[in-house]
Amino acid sequence: NAGVTQTPKFQVLKTGQSMTLQCAQDMNHNSMYWYRQDPGMGLRLIYYSASEGTTDKGEVPNGYNVSRLNKREFSLRLESAAPSQTSVYFCASVSGTVHSPLHFGNGTRLTVT
C-alpha cells in the first residue's frame, strides 16, 4: 500500500519555466490538498479538491493551477516559475469519513533559479 505518491522528488527550474508536480493516492480518498513549506516555516495551503471534479483556492494560490484528473490524481502546475516559488511541496489526501486524518506524501523539493 503506497499511500500518497509524489513525483518528482527533486526539481530545479529556471525562472519562467513551467512544470507539473504529480500526486496520486491509492486509498480511495475523496479530498486532496497541495501545500508548500518554505524553510523553517509551517505549511501553507495552495489548492484543494474536496471531491473529484472540484477544486478550490487555499491561502496562497497565485502562480499555481491544479487539476483533479480523477479520484486518484491531483496535479499542481507552475506556468511560469519564479524564485519565490522555491519551496517543498506536499500533497495530502483524506478519506472524507468521520474525522479521518490527513495522509501526506514525502514532498517535492523545488528550486527556481
Partner 1 sequence: LAKTTQPISMDSYEGQEVNITCSHNNIATNDYITWYQQFPSQGPRFIIQGYKTKVTNEVASLFIPADRKSSTLSLPRVSLSDTAVYYCLVGAPESSASKIIFGSGTRLSIRP
Per CB under 8 A, residues contacting partner 1 are 4, 31, 33, 35, 41-45, 48, 50-51, 54, 56, 58-59, 88, 90, 92, 94-107
Cβ-based nearer residue to partner 1, 20 or 106: 106
Evaluate whether 96 touches 110 at the Cβ level (below 8 Å): no
Q: How far is the CB of 31 from partner 1 (least distance, A)?
A: 7
Cβ-based nearer residue to partner 1, 10 or 83: 10
Q: How far is the CB of 80 from partner 1 (least distance, A)?
A: 26
48 CB contacts (<8 Å, ≥6 apart)?
Answer: 31, 32, 33, 34, 55, 56, 58
